[in-house]
């Protein structure tokens, strides 16, 4: 089996339910850790390794965490120069300018968790469209309808991450 066949099988078999619950927002979600726990047996079964790395990048005047999820074939020849035996997905998450109750390292860690989760979502075809992380307004209902038809910051970030991951 080549790396693409292995990925296809992992995508078909992966079950990562939304077992976490946010009391404040009243929604279920899955964390990066939930996805990784569900993946581990499949990575072993198909003899592939997963490496997730983060990098801080500046885009305009804002800083983002860029997470790269790299799937590596442990059985077949790997040539990173031509992409043989390796598949990558990249996602970004922006740090809030400030968040009450969080210090700087917690802000970065939170952004890293989101970026990693979305890189894994992209690589393993995990659909999060109904995930309240993207749709919950956390009590900040929009009273002005003039923005109707415009994308939210969360939607723009997600679209940017998807576009970047596919080149």
Give the pLDDT confidence of 81-138 residue by residue, as tens digits.
Answer: 887 899 999 999 987 766 666 677 777 788 899 999 999 999 999 987 654 455 555 5
52: its two tokens:
């997730």
Torsion, Cα 144 149 151 155, to 10 degrees, reads 110
d(CA 86, CA 153): 31
Contact status, residue 95 vs residue 103, Cβ threshold 8 Å: no
Nearest to 66 by CA among 112, 134, 133: 112
Tell me the per-residue pLDDT of 119-135, one tens digit each, with 9 for 90 and over: 999 999 998 765 445 55
d(CA 63, CA 142): 26
pTM beyond 0.85, yes or no: no
* Residue appearing with tokens 């109707």: 148
* Residue appearing with tokens 């390794």: 49
The reported pLDDT for the residue numbered 9 is 97
Which phi and psi angles does 90 have, rounded to 5°? -125, 140
d(CA 43, CA 47): 6
Nearest to 157 by CA among 148, 165, 147: 165
The reported pLDDT for the residue numbered 143 is 45
* Residue appearing with tokens 């790396």: 3
Beta carbons within 10 angstroms of residue 113's beta carbon: 17
The reported pLDDT for the residue numbered 3 is 95
| Long-range contacts, 131-134 (Cβ 8 Å, 24+) | 131/18, 131/27, 131/29, 131/30, 132/22, 132/25, 132/27, 132/28, 132/29, 133/29, 134/158
- Whether pLDDT at 5 is above 90: yes
Is residue 59 helix, strand or coil?
Answer: strand
């Amino acid at each position: 089996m080549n790396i693409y066949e292995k990925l296809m099988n992992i995508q078909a078999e992966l079950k990562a339910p939304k077992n976490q619950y946010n009391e404040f927002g009243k929604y279920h979600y899955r964390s990066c850790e939930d996805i990784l726990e569900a993946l581990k047996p499949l990575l072993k079964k198909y003899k592939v390794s997963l490496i997730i790395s983060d990098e801080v990048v500046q885009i305009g005047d804002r800083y983002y965490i860029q997470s790269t999820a790299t799937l590596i074939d442990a059985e077949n020849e790997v040539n990173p120069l031509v992409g043989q035996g390796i598949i990558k997905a990249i996602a970004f998450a922006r740090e809030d300018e400030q968040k009450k109750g969080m210090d700087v390292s917690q802000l970065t860690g939170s952004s890293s968790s989101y970026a990693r989760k979305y890189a894994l979502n992209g690589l393993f075809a995990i659909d999060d469209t109904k995930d309240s992380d993207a749709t919950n307004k956390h009590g900040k209902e929009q009273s002005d309808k003039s923005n109707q038809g415009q994308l939210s910051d969360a939607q723009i970030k997600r679209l940017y991450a998807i576009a970047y991951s596919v080149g």
